[in-house]
Amino acid sequence: MTHTRGALFDPVFGGSAVAEEVSDHAWVVALLEVEAALSRAASTVGLVTVEHASTVTAVATGLAGPGALDIADLGRRSAAGGNPVIPLVKILRAACAGEGVPASAVHVGATSQDVMDSALMLIARRAGHIVLADLRAAATSGAELARAHRATPMVARTLGQQALPTTFGALAVSWFTGLDDAAVQLDRALSALPVQFGGAAGTLAAVHPHGLDMADALADELGLARQPAPWHTTRTPVAALAAALGVAAGAVAKPATDITAMASTEFGEVAEDAPGGSSAMPHKQNPVAAITARAAARRAPGLVSTVLSSMDHEFARAAGAWHAEWETVTDLLRLSGGAAHRLASSLGGLHVHADAMARNLGITGGLILAERVTGALAAHTDSAREIVTAAAASGVPLDRAPEIIAHLSADELRDLLDPSNYLGHAVDLVDRALASRPARTTGGPA
C-alpha cells in the first residue's frame, strides 16, 4: 500500500491528492526515474549502450512498482550515508547485473545530490500542478461569485468595524485576484524547475568532455528545465518554489478567513454547501472547508522560512542545509495543496445570503453613511464633521439629529443614507477585475 505522511489528517486538511505525489513511494519512484534517465542520457553521448540504458530503465520501472521495494528497509539502510540514493543505487545495480548490465551503466557521472535534487524537482512539478489546479478552481469559483454578486450590497469592514457600503462582488474580487496572482507565480516557479547534474563536486569531471551535453540530455529526458550550471549550492530554484507555495497558502488564507467570519451566527452572510457539525452541539453549522483551509495555510510560512534559512550551502556540498529541504518542501506542497483544495470546495458551493447582508448594512442606523452625510452637510456649514461626529456619539439617528436636519431635507437624507447609492466604483472594479483575469485560469500541466 502506498504510504503517505498522514492517513488520519490528510483528508481533513485537503492533502490527500497531493500526499500521494509526495509520499515515500513517490520519492522512490522519482529517484528511480532519475537513475533511469541518467543511463539514457549517458547513452546519448556514448558512455552507455542504448541496450544497457533500455535495460536499466526497465529494471528501474520494475523496482518502482508498488511493493517491489521494502521502503522501511530502504530507510534504515539510508541512515548510514545520510540519504536513500546510496542504498538504492546498490539495489538497482544488483538488479541490473542480473540482466547483464555492468555497474558502470548505472548512476553515470552522478552524485547522490544530483539524484535527490532532480527527484525533488519531479515531485514538486507533479504535486505542484495539483496545487495549481485547485488554486485556479478556487479562483474561478471566486470570480463566478463576484460576477453573480457584482451589485449585491454589503458592509465593508475595516479593523473589525463596519466602515462603508460595498458589494459582495467587490469583496470576492479581493479573493480571486489574490488566488490568480498566486497561481501565476506558482506556474512560473514550476515551469522553471531545473535538472540538477554536477557530479561529485559540481565540475562533471567524471563525464568530461560530455558533461554539458549529458546534463542537457538528462533535463530533456525528465522534462525539466536545462541548467545553465549545476546549482547544488545555489538554492534559488528551491527557494523560489517554496516562496510561491507560501504565497499560494497566504492567498488561500484571505478568503478562508473572510468566509469563516461571514458564516458566523452574528453575520450569517454566507454558508458552505456542506457545513460540518459538532460532536456536542446539534445546532452547529461550521464552515469546515474554510476552517481547515485556513489551518493548513497557517503552517506554510514556517516551512517557507526553513527553506529560506537553509540557502547558505557551504562550498560544493552543504552539511545539513541540503538535507533539511527534502521533507520541508514536500510538507509545504502537501499543506499548500490541501489548503487550496479545501478552499476550492468551500467557494465552489458557497451560499450567499443577500438578505443577511442587507440586514447587517442597517444595524448602525445609517452611521456607515456618516462620511457621505458629512460631505453633503459641509456645503452648508464649516462644522459638518463635528456635528455628524456628535450625532453618531449620541446615538441619535442621523436623519433625526436636529443640527443635521436643520440643513438637509428628509428627501436628501433618505438618499444620503441609502447604502446602494454610495457604492463608489465597487461594481466597476468587479467588471474590471473580471476582464483582467489571466488568460489561463483552469487546468493542470500543459
HEC states along 353-370?
A: CHHHHHHHHCCCCCHHHH
The set of residues, in sequence order, having a beta carbon less than 8 Å from that of 151 and lying 6+ positions away, is 167, 169, 423, 426, 427
Residue 166 bridge partners (DSSP): 154
Q: Which of 147, 226, 298, 317 is catalytic?
A: 317
DSSP string covering 6-24 = -TTTTTTTT-HHHHHHSSH
Q: Which of 264, 278, 305, 383 is catalytic?
A: 278
User: How far apart are the C-alpha atoms of 357 and 3, rounded to whole Å?
Assistant: 46
The set of residues, in sequence order, having a beta carbon less than 8 Å from that of 325 and lying 6+ positions away, is 120, 235, 238, 307, 310
Instruction: Compute CA distances 198 → 115, 189, 325, whole Å.
Output: 10, 22, 18
Instruction: Compute CA distances 59 → 35, 92, 95, whole Å.
Output: 11, 7, 7
Grid cell in block for residue 316? 560544493
Is 112 annotated in the active site?
no
Half-sphere exposure of 288 (CA within 13 A, CB side): 12
Is 278 annotated in the active site?
yes
Active-site residue set: 278, 317
